[in-house]
A and B are shown apart, each in its own frame.
Chain A
Amino acid sequence: MDSAFQLANIRNLIIVSSYSAKKQYLKHVYPHNIDCIVLTKEEAKNYEGDFKIVFIGCFIEKFAKCENMILDDILKLNYLWSNEQYQIKWTQEMLASFLGAWFAQTKIRKMHNNFTNYYNSKNESWIKELIV
């Protein structure tokens, strides 16, 4: 399906370290958020442009100026702390949602807006206190 690659407007990349990692990402996480392209670091070398990039288990210096996030430490929160209150118990769906929200921030930045009004209509919460 190379022609689909040609037609898609690719803005969001997931870059993983190996072919087997790519296979696992496509199996476990990708079906929950398909608004991205998944590449191995070898495949990514052929790409040029301004992307939003999530690195997992690798980093490619040539993309350092693109907006990027290395996911490794964030995933590690799944099990790192002895105190459960500081853990984030990731599910595949949660991870897909988190990445989807991160990819979607371009709109807020370009339009110079925020979500203050959304939280105005919500009940009192510490999140509202942070944002409004």
Chain B
Amino acid sequence: MNINNIDFFSCHFEIENRYSEHNALNSDFYKERSTLGGWTISNRHPIQGFKRHAMVNLLPNKQINKAKIQDLQNIIEKTIKKYATNNNVILLSGGKDSTTLAYIFKKLNIPFKAISLYSDLSTTSERPVVQQIANTLDIKVEYYKLNTIPEYMFKYWIENPYTAKYMAINDLGLEDHTIFTGEIGTGEMQINQSLQYTAMMGYQPKDLAYWHVNVCGNYRRINSTKKLSDDSVYNECVEHFCNRFVEWDRHPDILNRVMFSRLQDEGAFRLFNYGLDSLKWVHPFAENEFIHMCVNMPSDVKGNKNLYRMMYPDLTDIPWRYPKSGLGIPTR
């Protein structure tokens, strides 16, 4: 379960009742899930007759806030202190977000176990990067090897990293710990391509709506802004992101629209599966106050600017020197 306040990403699928077994699978749900590479944005449910309920609160404000970097630092530290216990785990991926998290724990003198997942079968490995970070932060990392992820666990949305983390926590006997993740950190959403496109072509929300669907549906490999399918579900997905841009129209900073128009949908996907189990998960960067402030700050403090290093100038730059390669553990 998610124990911190993540209302901007909360959603739920209706629970199937006792008649569910008589209901047919909703093929359009699976088509949509395939179109977006493992998740959905409509109210479709895997079973016909049931629905998904999306988040209600919207992130964009009508005004840009005047928050300072110090305010972000205060909020994230307050959040971590609020949820930390005597038994904490940080899942260290080698990326910016979890590294920053570990740094803050060290700074606040809060004890934690650092766990990092890896696979022999992955095409790329972040283990050497994680080890460099561990050396720099002076922390001990326990490495957990996982070579396959069982597919049967994906009832609604397919999110391999969550499943891998869940298996690791259980295998390592850490079920009673509070587990901190770097989910929905500022480095999370793929914003560089949309910024570059806007730099070249001006603000083109319709094109970026196509790009959102294409890049998600092709596991980040196709960065096209063109219409790639005539399928009605594909078109619906594009329309959804067009509507997201319309919702963002009220926000005056155009580049915030460009960077964050997919954030709530993809963030809901990233966090959803954590809410289904009985473990205690905390995602400090997704905390209401932090993410809302961060998104509505002027865009010029984001993008390629290193927000975390502005918050913590002593933070190691190791994760910024290596391209993120992801978990890369195949499903069975």
Contacts and interface: CB of A to CB of B under 8 A. Distances in A.
Nearest to A34: B197
Contact of A31 (B202, B224, B255, B259): B224
B199 A32 contact: no
A110 B20 CA distance: 50
A37 B223 CA distance: 13
A interface SS class: helix
Given A7-B300, A111-B124, A34 B323 contact: no
A117 interface: yes
Contact of B123 (A1, A36, A37, A118): A118
Interface stretch (B1-9, B188-196, B260-268): B188-196
Contacts of B196: 4, 8, 10, 34-37
A123 interface: no
B200 interface: yes
Interface residues of B, number: 40
B123 A114 contact: yes
Interface residues of A, number: 36
A3 interface: yes
Contacts of B195: 4, 7-8
Contacts of A113: 122-125, 325
Nearest to B202: A1
B225 interface: yes
A115 B330 CA distance: 13
B198 interface: yes
Interface in B102-136: 121-126, 128-129
Given A7-B195, A32-B225, 17 more contacts: A4-B255, A4-B258, A8-B196, A9-B192, A10-B196, A26-B200, A31-B226, A32-B226, A34-B196, A37-B199, A97-B222, A111-B125, A111-B126, A111-B129, A111-B325, A116-B123, A118-B123
Interface of A: 1-10, 26, 30-38, 93, 96-97, 100, 106-108, 110-118
Interface of B: 121-126, 128-129, 192-203, 207, 211, 221-226, 255, 258-259, 299-300, 302-305, 322-323, 325
